[in-house]
């Protein structure tokens, strides 16, 4: 829906995915797709973006793939502020490998696929993204497709590293956080366990990116909201327009701005002088 809303040319969109249920996503999207290794989607997507800056790059992963084995790449991607979007499918379990607790499942929780309760505390992806340096940080809910598409579209349009943590159900293995749970069907007032940040007057956008005090204040507000539970905030937590990794590269190699690496004549070059120099 987001790609259709933005009317992006499929030939100008590249989707990179990791391993897990989320890894199948590029198979169903009319765009270029690249299925990478477990936890390695971000470095591969980084390579794709730097090789061809004409592409709109979208990386996809699960909460196990992205926040577990891929956590180191998650931090450094935010630090670089490369211009692409990272969508994380967050359902609290490793769905492809039969429902083990993912890094986002809270301590003491036990799904029907687990023999015992989770022994560790779950991580806070929003707070981790703030600390890492992502310049667009949001959370959406998969079963609210209209709002989710709006958030993803904003993330794609953002210039810089954008994270969208997408809350999802796993009907096969996670019997705790179900559609009915998110809807609050078990609550006396039958009230949703989600609320939209924008509907409560929250604005996470930094108005003056040159003001470090405003940046710190907006980050602190985003982290504070990220710890709210029942109801859980969805929407844009933080947004700032800051220099991207590409901007910094262009300062050093101005020619890359007009001619991306993929279009450069880098083949059939004689490397003998280099080899001789390294003897």
Q: For the chain, what percent of residues have pLDDT higher than 90?
A: 72
Show Cβ contacts of residue 203 under 8 Å, excluding neighbours closer than 6 positions.
Answer: none
pLDDT of residue 8: 94
Region 6-15: what's the mean pLDDT?
95
Which of 73-77, 202-206, 249-253, 265-269 comes out lowest in average pLDDT? Answer: 265-269
Q: Would you list the DSSP string of 125-163? A: HHHHHHHHT-SEEEEEETTSHHHHHHHHHHHHHSSS-EE
Whichever domain contains 224, its CATH number is: 3.40.50.970
Region 245-270: what's the mean pLDDT?
87
- The secondary structure of residue 69, as a DSSP letter, is I
Please list the residues that pair with 136 across neighbouring strands: 162, 239
| 87 pLDDT above the threshold of 80 | yes
Strands 100-101 and 93-94: antiparallel
Q: For the chain, what percent of residues have pLDDT higher than 70?
A: 99
**Residue 85's domain spans which residues?**
2-277
Q: Which two tokens stand for residue 236?
A: 């844009």
Q: List, edge to edge, every strand of the sheet that includes 85-90.
A: 32-35, 13-17, 56-62, 85-90, 162-167, 136-141, 232-239, 194-196
Structural domain count of the chain: 1
259 by DSSP, 3-state: which?
coil
Q: What is the per-residue pLDDT across 151-206, written as a single tens digit (0 to 9) for each?
A: 999 999 999 999 999 999 998 988 889 999 999 998 888 899 999 999 999 999 99
Q: What is the per-residue pLDDT across 205-238, written as a single tens digit (0 to 9) for each?
A: 999 999 999 999 999 999 999 999 989 999 999 9
Region 126-136: what's the mean pLDDT?
98
Helices (H), 52-136: 63-64, 71-80, 125-132
| 126 pLDDT above the threshold of 90 | yes
Distance of alpha carbon 104 from alpha carbon 112, whole angstroms: 16
pLDDT band for position 267 (cuts 50, 70, 90): low
pLDDT of residue 129: 98
Q: Which two tokens stand for residue 225?
A: 């909201």
Show Cβ contacts of residue 191 under 8 Å, excluding neighbours closer than 6 positions.
Answer: 184, 231
Please list the residues that pair with 137 across neighbouring strands: 163, 238
Show Cβ contacts of residue 222 under 8 Å, excluding neighbours closer than 6 positions.
Answer: 126, 127, 130, 137, 204, 237, 238
């Amino acid at each position: 829906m987001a790609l259709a809303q933005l009317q992006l040319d499929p030939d100008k969109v590249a989707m990179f995915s990791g391993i897990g249920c989320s890894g199948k996503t590029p198979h169903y999207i009319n765009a270029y797709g690249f299925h990478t290794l477990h936890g390695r989607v971000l470095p591969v997507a980084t390579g794709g973006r730097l090789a061809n800056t004409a592409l709109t790059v979208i990386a996809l992963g699960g909460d196990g793939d992205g926040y577990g084995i891929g956590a180191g790449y998650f931090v450094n991607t935010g630090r670089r502020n490369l211009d692409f979007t990272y969508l994380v499918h967050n359902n609290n379990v490793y769905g492809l490998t039969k429902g083990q607790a993912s890094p986002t499942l809270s301590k003491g929780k036990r799904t029907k696929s687990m023999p015992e309760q989770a022994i560790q505390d779950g991580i806070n992806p929003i707070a981790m993204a703030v600390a890492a340096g992502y310049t667009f940080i949001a959370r959406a809910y998969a079963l609210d497709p209209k709002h989710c598409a709006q958030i993803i579209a904003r993330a794609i349009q953002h210039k810089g590293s954008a994270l969208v943590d997408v809350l999802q159900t796993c009907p096969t293995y996670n019997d705790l956080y179900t559609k009915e749970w998110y809807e609050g069907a078990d609550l006396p007032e039958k009230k949703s366990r989600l609320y939209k940040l924008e509907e409560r007057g929250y604005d996470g956008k930094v108005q003056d990116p040159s003001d470090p005090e405003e940046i710190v204040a907006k980050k602190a507000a985003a982290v504070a909201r990220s710890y709210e539970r029942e109801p859980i905030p969805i929407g844009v937590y933080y947004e700032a327009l800051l220099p991207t990794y590409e901007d910094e590269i262009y300062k050093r190699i101005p020619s890359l701005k007009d001619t991306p690496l993929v279009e450069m004549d880098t083949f059939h070059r004689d490397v003998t002088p280099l080899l001789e120099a390294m003897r």
